[in-house]
């Protein structure tokens, strides 16, 4: 009996400590820093260099240092929990409780090749009830283009996932071929396991990357140099630096001179997945909608129906995953997000009134032929990288 009482007391003590720690963490998340209160009402457009400079100035000032470290700790906790950086301007009075993101776990059979048939088409079915409120209201639900979930725009607003321009994007693209990615699929960081996430966080901390801060080209290249030196213990070659610069341009399609934190995080997440997981494990991450789009792409390229396409055609498909709607085309409901070859008269075949040079694909006899499983393996990383709604290319296809 004495042993049983001792165990019970131990359990109760552990539970009390856990509750105290949880309450302390919640207090840290809700406690705003001095700088965040001063900047309320303005968009955050700082760069990494400016943020580091501000941090050094605040550290020398003295009194605000503990409060700033609490805000930084809370930012890392949000990143660890898969919630990213919450908007600084957000009405919390009528908000819904944020979902508890549970990071995936690796299974023993993940590295085995999955059975994805080319001939057997998959039936795509969306949920009938809103993922948030679990209420059915028919046509007013907005489906995700990646997964089976559907949402009310009002529920998305109350969750804080639909603000300003994003509301227009959802209403105009959710029911088109381009589609809209829900907050689960839009965040590539949620594909990482806990171990992979801790590995990424360790790399970001070692390279002095601050969550939520935009990165300039110099910041991005400096980060890439540090990561390469830590991994290989030598300086990054000039060719890889040029490739990193091209990746930065792909992440900054509007030429603003910096890349957003969420785009940087998505890019680093997909890069880590490529390094750590084999292609078979990545193939298991594809949803039925993504597999069906891949079938459509392959069948469109395999015009002679022999089950093979050319290597050049396979490279061509990598670029098509990232095609987005042009804003001026939204009203006419013409989608250029399809995969596969673009017809000569398609709206995507010309831009700014100029027709691009025609690229004649090499014949299958002149280049390596790729079958359906090989096509999936070659394109899986690009298919996953195309999930976010952002116009940025989170994985720049090689030429």
Task: Give the number of other Cβ atoms within 10 Å of residue 18's Cβ.
Answer: 10
Q: What secondary structure, in 3-state letters, does 226-288 show?
A: HHHHHHHCCCCCHHHHHHHHHHHHHHCCCCCCEECHHHHHHHHHHHHHHHHCCHHHHHCCCCH
- 267-294 burial, b for 16+ CB within 10 Å, e for fewer? bbbbbbbbeebebbbbbbbbbebbbebb
Question: For residue 158, what are the contacts with CB-CB under 8 A and spacing of at least 6?
Answer: 94, 95, 96, 132
CA distance 267 to 86: 19
pLDDT of 141 reads 87
Would you give the DSSP letter of residue 330? G
Spans of the chain, pLDDT less than 70: 1-69, 71, 83-100, 138-139, 163-166, 323-367, 399
CA distances from 183 to 50, 138, 170 (A): 29, 21, 12
Q: Which two tokens stand for residue 63?
A: 């009194």
Tokens 């290989």: give the residue. 232
The closest alpha carbon to 67, from 76, 80, 58, belongs to: 58
Q: Looking at residue 154, what is its pLDDT?
A: 84
Per-residue pLDDT, 356: 36
Tokens of 270: 């997909």
Q: What's the CA gap between 64 and 59, in Å, rounded?
A: 7
């Amino acid at each position: 009996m004495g042993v049983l009482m001792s165990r019970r007391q131990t359990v109760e003590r552990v539970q009390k400590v856990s509750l105290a720690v949880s309450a302390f963490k919640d207090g840290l998340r809700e406690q705003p820093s001095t700088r965040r209160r001063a900047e309320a009402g303005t968009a955050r457009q700082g760069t990494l260099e400016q943020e580091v400079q501000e941090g050094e100035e605040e550290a020398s000032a003295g009194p605000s240092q503990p409060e700033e470290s609490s805000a930084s700790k809370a930012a890392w906790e949000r990143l660890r929990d898969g919630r990213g950086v919450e908007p600084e301007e957000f009405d919390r009075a009528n908000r819904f409780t944020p979902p508890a993101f549970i990071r995936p776990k690796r299974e023993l059979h993940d590295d085995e090749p999955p059975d994805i048939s080319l001939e057997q088409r998959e039936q795509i079915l969306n949920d009938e009830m809103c993922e948030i409120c679990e209420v059915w209201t028919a046509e007013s639900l907005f489906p995700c283009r990646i997964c089976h979930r559907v949402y009310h725009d009002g529920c998305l607003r109350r969750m804080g996932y639909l603000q300003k321009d994003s509301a227009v994007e959802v209403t105009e693209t959710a029911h088109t071929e381009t589609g809209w990615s829900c907050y689960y699929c839009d965040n590539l960081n949620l594909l990482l396991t806990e171990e992979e996430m801790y590995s990424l966080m360790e790399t970001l901390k070692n390279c002095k990357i601050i969550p939520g801060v935009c990165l300039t080209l110099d910041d991005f290249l400096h980060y890439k140099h540090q990561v390469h030196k830590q991994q290989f213990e030598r300086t990054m070659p000039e060719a890889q630096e040029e490739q990193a610069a091209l990746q930065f341009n792909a992440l900054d399609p509007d030429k603003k001179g910096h890349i957003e934190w969420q785009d940087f995080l998505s890019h680093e997440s997909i890069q880590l997945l490529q390094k750590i997981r084999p292609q078979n494990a990545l193939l298991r991450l594809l949803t039925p909608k993504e597999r069906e789009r891949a079938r459509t792409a392959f069948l469109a390229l395999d015009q002679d129906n022999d089950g093979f396409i050319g290597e050049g055609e396979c490279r061509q498909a990598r670029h098509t995953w990232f095609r987005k709607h042009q804003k001026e085309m939204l009203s006419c409901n013409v989608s250029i997000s399809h995969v596969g070859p673009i017809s000569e008269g398609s709206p995507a075949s010309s831009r700014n009134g100029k027709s691009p040079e025609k690229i004649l694909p090499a014949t299958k006899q002149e280049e390596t032929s790729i079958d359906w499983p090989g096509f999936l393996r070659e394109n899986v990383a690009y298919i996953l990288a195309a999930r976010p709604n952002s116009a940025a290319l989170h994985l720049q296809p090689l030429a």
